A = this chain, B = another copy of it.
Amino acid sequence: MENNTRRDFLKKATAATAVAATATTIGAPAIVRAEKTYNWKMVTTWPPHFPLLGEGADKLAEMIRTMSGGRLNIQVYGGGELVPALQAFDAVSQGMVEMGHGAAYYWAGKSPAAQFFAAVPFGMNAQAMNAWLYAGGGMKLWEDVYSKFNLKPLPAGNTGVQMGGWFNREIKSMDDFKGLKMRIPGLGGKVLSKAGGTAVLSAGGELYTNLERGVIDATEWVGPYNDYMMGFYKVAKYYYYPGWHEAGSVLESFVNKSAYEALPEDLQAIVTNATIASNMWVLCESEAKNNIYLDKMLKEEGVILKKFPADVISQLRKYSVEVLEEAVANDPESQKVYDSFKAFQKQQLAWSKISEQPYYELFD
């Protein structure tokens, strides 16, 4: 098979270049071809070089540039630098730029199904999400959802299990959610509403001040590494776990489909595999740094670590099922994605009960 592949390749290369030059290195077979270079723009939903998330976008562009030998150069723009953060999807969809970087739940307004490719309350963790996307049929569904927008989606990072958020008062029972003003977007916010709280919309840059001034009583963000950078420990005391609302948030890259299809096969493969490598990179960075920053906050900043009580988790889970069912109820596409997500998660949890979960218990 190798011989055929090589023959086919040589045939294509020759046709593409129509250059009759011969090898310039003695004793080494050589292919001479004219290679088009591509200069792309990537718009992101993150502040420039933002820890983990923006860094993940930078890293992705760098890997593509190196692997392509400079044939595919991608200039990365932070949110607002070229287009506002939340217009990244449209900018790539309309071909204004070739590539974007964000998280699929930002595009719930375009398609409610998108949320399942980022994170949903009581959804899957990083390992399960990756298995669903890459080996359980998830990518096919995601591609279908995005193809209507002339976009090709690619997972490009994962935060791991997030924290439950920063609270300026304790959560001892479901009653403590009543009247609680919390920054928690999307479906998580709808769960909070069912619990009697108020989901407050607040941009990342305003969170610290809003928490300090009591405009909000609580906020979720990411995990200890990112949360430390935001300084929340200075204005809220209680740091809750686990992040039931975002157990394995997927960062995405999305490419304008026409631009992607115009790439030669090798550059297409480079883009795809670079996103897989950046998916790994973000998760590993996050996992390696979270405990260091958690430790710092607990030992040096007097943060009080708290676990949500079991009955609170149990009630939030019930509300979450309701919220998910309501979200997909009138949209067959979302229902289809939810069904696949749910079936895979069920199977994955059954396996985890005898693999990952008892692994952690080995060290109890």
Residue positions of A touching B, CB distance < 8 A: 2, 5-6, 9-10, 13, 17-19, 21, 23-25, 28-37, 39, 63, 65-71, 73, 75, 122, 125-128, 130-136, 160-161, 163, 223-224, 241-244, 247, 264-266, 269-270, 273-274, 276-277, 279-281, 283-285, 287-292, 294-295, 305, 307, 313, 317, 344, 347-363
Contact = CB atoms under 8 A, between A and B. Distances in A.
Contacts of A134: 280-281, 284
A264 B69 contact: yes
15 contacts: A5-B70, A25-B36, A28-B37, A32-B34, A63-B269, A63-B273, A66-B265, A135-B288, A161-B356, A242-B358, A291-B348, A292-B347, A307-B358, A317-B362, A353-B360
Contacts of A351: 224, 287, 290-291, 294
Contacts of A160: 127, 355-356
Given A73-B2, A291-B350, A67 B29 contact: no
Nearest to A363: B349
Nearest to A63: B273
Copies of this chain, complex-wide, total 2
Contacts of A161: 355-356, 358-359
Given A161-B358, A295-B350, 15 more contacts: A5-B70, A5-B73, A30-B35, A67-B67, A130-B283, A163-B354, A241-B354, A241-B355, A241-B358, A242-B354, A270-B270, A273-B274, A291-B347, A307-B358, A349-B363
Contacts of A23: 34, 36
B265 A69 contact: yes
Interface centre among A122, A127, A132, A274 (most CB of B within 10 A): A127
A31 B24 CA distance: 16
A131 B288 contact: yes
Nearest to A27: B36
A280 B279 contact: yes
A164 to B, nearest CB: 9
Contacts of A288: 131-132, 135-136, 344
B67 A287 contact: no
